[in-house]
């Protein structure tokens, strides 16, 4: 649940863990710049410094004990061939479009934001960075409950992706399926199920950001939506990391109050102590030139007042 706080004129949005600071910062295009607050720093929120100690103190970095700076891979997308911002090299999901008989030669619509193709059954939007979304054309059908089991929906989704060459080895399915509900004469019923996938990191750490692959299944077993926000990177670079102590200091020195994710109705002035540090990755696949890069997540607090701070882990 998202909650909002107003502190010295600065609105702080708190709650979900994938709001990031550090090198992912900056105003969202089309929005106004945040108001400058000279005294806004995390130190003034009462975050207590923490001693990270030596090996064996229970602090983990991607499943390993933290004791010194390590090297991590930052995966970067290939540089676009064209210099125009919205015209990087894009490969259309040709196999998928051929299987669904969607013409690949003449776009239905084309803009800086996306290129669209369609037939009488489906419409597909392809974005400049390689992501795409597939939607079934709207129909006048009434509300029908889905009776397919979760297992059947998983099989349908996986086979749909496999035939299109989209069920990559680096994707893993989430256990829980999503559901869409609607109301008919019988009351509220489940009308579709959503099978979700996420990239593998090779560790127990989860990938933060907006990477996702989801397949929506209708009552008759057809796929009515495919969201494919998943990129394959062609370059890797070994970059030095900040130490956990340096990451903490960056959090304390931050001028961005939204970097502190504090899920509590009233938490201002409360002393907070970091008790857990993990290294994971963050990825914004909707960016024109996406990058998957390491971040530290500093967590702590209590059951009544949990908090988390994210810091870009790359040493510049």
| Helix H or strand E encompassing 81 | none
- Same structural domain for residues 104 and 62? no
Q: Is the residue at 220 inside a domain?
A: yes
* Confidence check: pLDDT of 171 > 50: yes
The answer to whether the beta carbons of residues 243 and 69 sit under 8 Å apart is yes
Residue 96 · residue 313 · CB < 8 Å: no
In this predicted structure, the answer to whether residue 316 has a pLDDT above a threshold of 90 is: no
Residues 108 and 204 in one domain: yes
In this prediction, residues 73-77 reach a mean pLDDT of 47
The answer to whether residue 43 is domain-embedded is yes
**Structural domain harbouring 57:** 3-76+237-312
Residue the block writes with tokens 């900056």: 26
E strand or H helix at 193: strand 187-199
Same domain, 65 and 100: no
Q: Note whether 60 and 66 are within 8 A (CB).
A: yes
119-134 b/e (C-beta count within 10 Å ≥ 16 → b): eeebbbbbbbbbbbbb
The pLDDT value recorded for residue 173 is: 93
Q: d(Cα 63, Cα 278) in Å, to the nearest integer? A: 8
Q: Is the pLDDT at 302 greater than 60, yes or no? A: yes
The mean per-residue pLDDT over the stretch 69-88 comes to: 36
Inform me whether the pLDDT recorded for 161 exceeds 50: yes
Query: Which residue blocks in 70-199 are alpha helix, DSSP H?
Result: 94-99, 150-163
Stronger pLDDT, 207 or 176, i.e. the higher one: 176
Is the pLDDT at 214 greater than 70? The verdict is yes
Highest mean pLDDT among 57-66, 217-226, 285-294, 303-312: 217-226
pLDDT 10s digits, 184-211: 888 899 999 999 998 877 655 667 888 8
Instruction: Tell me, yes or no, whether 88 lies in a domain.
Output: no
pLDDT of residue 95: 92
Do residues 265 and 154 both lie within one domain?
A: no
> Is residue 52, in this structure, part of any structural domain at all?
yes
Mean pLDDT score of the chain: 68
As a whole number of angstroms, the longest Cα–Cα distance in the chain is 64
Token digits for 166? 């989209």
Contacts of 126 (CB under 8 A, 6+ apart): 90, 92, 93, 114, 115, 116, 117, 132
Of 229, 245, 269, the position where a domain reaches its end is 229
Which pLDDT value is given to residue 235? 66
Cβ atoms of residues 72 and 292 within 8 Å: no
pLDDT above 70 (res 59): no
Rounded to whole angstroms, how far apart are CA atoms 284 and 190?
31
Which residue, 216, 227, 135, is CA-closest to 177? 216
Comparing C-alpha atoms, which of 139, 144, 96, 146 is closest to residue 117?
96
In a shared domain, residues 123 and 187: yes
List alpha helices for 8-145, DSSP H.
94-99
pLDDT at 225 over 60: yes
| Mean pLDDT value of segment 256-264 | 55
* Residue for token pair 């369609």: 118
User: CA nearest 311: which of 55, 4, 10, 24?
Assistant: 24
Say whether pLDDT at 57 is over 80: no
Number of domains, the chain: 2
Examine residue 100 and state whether it is found in any structural domain, yes or no.
yes
Same domain, 264 and 204: no
For residue 29, what pLDDT band results from cuts at 50, 70 and 90? Answer: very low
Nearest to 219 by CA among 172, 175, 247, 180: 180
Q: How far apart are the C-alpha atoms of 242 and 198, rounded to whole Å?
A: 27
Q: Which of 229, 259, 290 is the last residue of a domain?
A: 229
111 and 134 share one domain: yes
Q: Are residues 294 and 193 in the same domain?
A: no
Q: Single out the residue in 229, 250, 271 at which a domain terminates.
A: 229
Q: Is 203 exposed, middle or buried (0-12, 13-18, 19+ CB in 10 A)?
A: middle
User: How far is C-alpha 5 from the chain's CA centre?
Assistant: 24
Cross-strand pairs, 310: 297
């Amino acid at each position: 649940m998202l909650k909002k706080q107003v502190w010295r004129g600065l609105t702080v949005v708190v709650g979900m863990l994938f709001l990031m600071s550090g090198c992912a910062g900056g105003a969202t295009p089309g929005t106004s710049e945040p108001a400058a607050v000279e005294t806004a720093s995390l130190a003034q929120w009462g975050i207590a410094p923490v001693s990270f100690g030596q090996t064996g103190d229970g602090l983990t970095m991607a499943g390993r004990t933290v004791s010194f700076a390590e090297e991590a891979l930052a995966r970067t997308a290939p540089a676009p061939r064209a210099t125009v911002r919205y015209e990087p090299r894009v490969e259309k999901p040709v196999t998928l479009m051929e299987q669904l008989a969607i013409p690949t030669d003449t776009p239905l619509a084309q803009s800086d934001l996306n290129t669209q193709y369609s037939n009488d059954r489906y419409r597909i939007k392809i974005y400049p960075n390689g992501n795409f979304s597939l939607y079934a054309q709207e129909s006048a059908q009434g509300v029908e409950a889905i009776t397919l089991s979760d297992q059947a929906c998983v099989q349908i989704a996986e086979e749909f992706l496999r035939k299109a060459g989209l069920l990559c080895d680096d994707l893993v399915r989430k256990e829980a399926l999503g559901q869409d509900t609607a109301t008919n004469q019988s009351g509220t019923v489940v009308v579709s199920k959503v099978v979700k996938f996420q990239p593998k990191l090779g560790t127990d750490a989860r990938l933060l950001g907006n990477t996702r692959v989801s397949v929506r299944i209708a009552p008759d077993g057809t796929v009515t939506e495919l969201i494919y926000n998943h990129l394959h990177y062609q370059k890797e670079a070994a970059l030095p990391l900040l130490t956990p102590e340096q990451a903490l200091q960056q959090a304390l020195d931050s001028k961005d109050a939204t970097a502190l994710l504090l899920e509590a109705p009233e938490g201002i002035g409360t002393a907070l102590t970091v008790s857990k540090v993990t290294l994971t990755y963050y990825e914004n696949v909707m960016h024109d030139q996406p990058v998957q890069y390491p971040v530290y997540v500093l967590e702590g607090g209590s059951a009544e007042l949990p908090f988390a701070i994210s810091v870009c882990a790359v040493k510049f």
